Amino acid sequence: KNEVEQSPQNLTAQEGEFITINCSYSVGISALHWLQQHPGGGIVSLFMLSSGKKKHGRLIATINIQEKHSSLHITASHPRDSAVYICAGNNLGGSQGNLIFGKGTKLSVKP
């Protein structure tokens, strides 16, 4: 069964701290997505990774294919980074666009 597991479930940080959210996935996942969901509910795609590392501003995403593990890092965190971060994998077993989602990590950055 294809699965995506995220940790931690909840994370509280002080402004300026370096943050790491982890994601492990099972066999059958071809690529990993990191998504951000704000309190209003809409979801924005941050990264899609099938290998290596990607960086956008203060966000960095890495993936280790051998270990089936991905991390999302936020440098110099800010209260506006407070959101739910969701890891999702493309399901090789079904339609390639289908995603299998982790349960999300709720991040709260305090000023």
Half-sphere exposure of 20 (CA within 13 A, CB side): 7
The footprint of another protein on residues 47-106 (CB under 8 A) is: 48, 86, 88, 90, 95-104
> Residue 36 corresponds to which amino acid?
Q
Q: Are 43 and 85 in contact (CB under 8 A)?
A: no
Part of the chain binding another protein (CB under 8 A), chosen from 15-23, 28-36, 54-62, 66-74: 28-36
Nearer to another protein, 77 or 100 (CB): 100
- 3-class secondary structure, 106: strand
Q: Which is nearer to another protein, 28 or 101 (CB)?
A: 101
Residue from 11, 23, 33, 109 touching another protein (CB under 8 A): that is 33
